[in-house]
Amino acid sequence: MTGRLGRYIVIEGNDGTGKSTQVELLAAHFQRQGLTVCVVEEPGSDEPEKSTPVADELRRVIKNGDLVRSPEINVVLFSTARRELWREKIEPALKRGEVVLSARNYISTLAYQGRAEGCNEAEIMRLTELFTGERYMRPDAMIILSLSHDKRAERIAMRGELQHPDTFESRDIDFQEKINQGYQDVAAEYGVPVISANGTPEDVHQAILGHLSSLENNQKTS
């Protein structure tokens, strides 16, 4: 977009939809073009270069299934990690003119804590705006990956036995369906395109590249 430094692209979707895989494929794509890429994972990552120490500590709390807490506390934890990643990783990289690729952003909180856990979505948005900035709220591109329940469960099972039985990805099918529907509802409300992740990683990658190319062409002609 005119006047914007860098490029901020977000890949969203429920657990098991292949967000990290698609982010890595996009990173390789942009790097082949000679661009500098910053990869971020919300709310933190097992790979230090994709997060910050503070965000990683918050992620450990979030993923601790033995730590009983309310959905509202989850909103605060995710929002705090989000502020840390925005201030320490995403915003500086954009100011340097880099391509920032993020697996998840506030859309996850709207789908999980808003639609699936019943938190006030206006409060989620207010807190996100307070903790981040306009550029975070309006990425250059956002895409939601959608996957059938059976394929999603199959992919999660391939990761091995879950270590934390109460983390979000191990919740029952009713909760997962609420999340899936939540993503569809949020996509419709906020105008975020949904791409099927049922194909091969390369098929999904090409679909994402096609969408990004269309966005770029529209921006050139507008």
Rounded CA gap, 114 and 135, in Å?
Answer: 22
Q: What integer pLDDT is reported at residue 219 of this predicted model?
A: 77
Residue whose token pair is 């979000």: 168
Residue 172, pLDDT > 70, answer yes
pLDDT category of residue 4 using cuts at 50, 70 and 90: confident
Give the residue-averaged pLDDT of 41-62: 95
Average pLDDT rounded to a whole number, residues 62-67: 85
Is residue 1 included in any domain, yes or no? no
Mode of pairing for the β-strands spanning 194-196 and 99-103: unpaired
pLDDT at 148: 83
Is residue 116 domain-resident?
yes
**What are the residues facing 7 on neighbouring strands?**
99
Share the mean pLDDT of the chain.
91
Answer yes or no: is pLDDT of 171 > 90. Answer: no
Q: What confidence score (pLDDT) does residue 222 get?
A: 62
Q: Alpha-carbon torsion 149, 184, 213, 30, what sign?
A: negative
Q: What is the pTM of this model?
A: 0.92
Which residues are 39's β-sheet partners?
101
- What are the tens digits of pLDDT across the range 107-145? 999 999 999 999 999 999 999 999 999 999 999 999 999
pLDDT confidence bin for 3, thresholds 50/70/90: low
107: domain CATH number?
A: 3.40.50.300
* Parent domain of 140: 7-221
Look at residues 140, 117, 19 and name the one whose alpha carbon lies nearest to residue 69.
117
pLDDT at 184 over 90: yes
| Terminal-residue alpha carbon distance, the chain | 10
The total number of structural domains in the chain stands at 1
Q: Is the pLDDT of residue 81 over 50?
A: yes
Tell me if 63 is assigned to some domain.
yes
Are 19 and 198 in contact, with CB atoms under 8 Å apart?
Answer: no
> What share of the chain in percent tops pLDDT 90?
76
| pLDDT value for 19 | 96
Instruction: Look at residue 2 and tell me if it is in a domain.
Output: no
